[in-house]
Amino acid sequence: MKRYLGSQLPKFSSEEMLLLRDSIDFIGVNHYGTLYAKDCIHSSCLCNDPTCSTGSDHAIRGFLYSTGFRDGVSIGEPTGMDRFFVVPRGMEDIINYIKGRYHNKLMFVTENGYSSPVSEDDHYQQDVKRINYHKSYLAYLAQAIRNGADVRGYFIWSLMDNFEWTSGYKTKFGLYHIDPQTLNRIPKLSASWYRDFLSNSSNVNIGISNKVCTDEAKII
């Protein structure tokens, strides 16, 4: 960033730098998915994935091009949002990056969630894919914690299906469905699973790197 945008970056005095140093209480991590990235400064960034119009150029000075596809194959299982794919290892990767970059500052995962595709709306209460998503992401989070990352909390996005800024009410992340007529809250299968997980009666049991990771609510 300094190399390409140095003259445009704000200047800090020595006193301001001292005030900023180690001035945060914790780092909040919002994480939903993982994408491929390509340098757009030294190479062409013509879009070639299914979500872009053919031949559109994404080259922006000082930035990179990100996509969920490589050679026409998606990086993970698609969700209800075009740019979010299920890539559980990304949770461990981002936590480890922050751990190294910011000297293992205290972290909270402030948002992590699965948006169900519209095709699953008729079976919204049996949201097994949401459960599997959180099981796998929690397992990789547990792996990062065991390797020394100072993560103290994990928040699911979201308790209820809600209004999303870019998609209104059609994108659903919640553990609870909201009846649009009565506004009653209807628990999905994931709500029961998460309750049991938090009460220490349900395990995260996912194979990682030929090992089995079993962590109960102690990682929360």
Among all residues, which ones are annotated catalytic?
A: 111
Nearest Cα to Cα of residue 220 among 115, 141, 148: 141
Are the CB atoms for 69 and 113 separated by under 8 Å? no
Q: Give CA–CA dist 31/211, Å, rounded.
A: 24
Q: Decide: residue 76, CB within 10 A, 0-12 exposed, 13-18 middle, 19+ buried.
A: middle
Around 169, how many Cα atoms within 13 Å sit in the side-chain half-sphere? Answer: 5
Six-digit token string for 217: 């609510």
Are the CB atoms for 40 and 60 separated by under 8 Å? yes
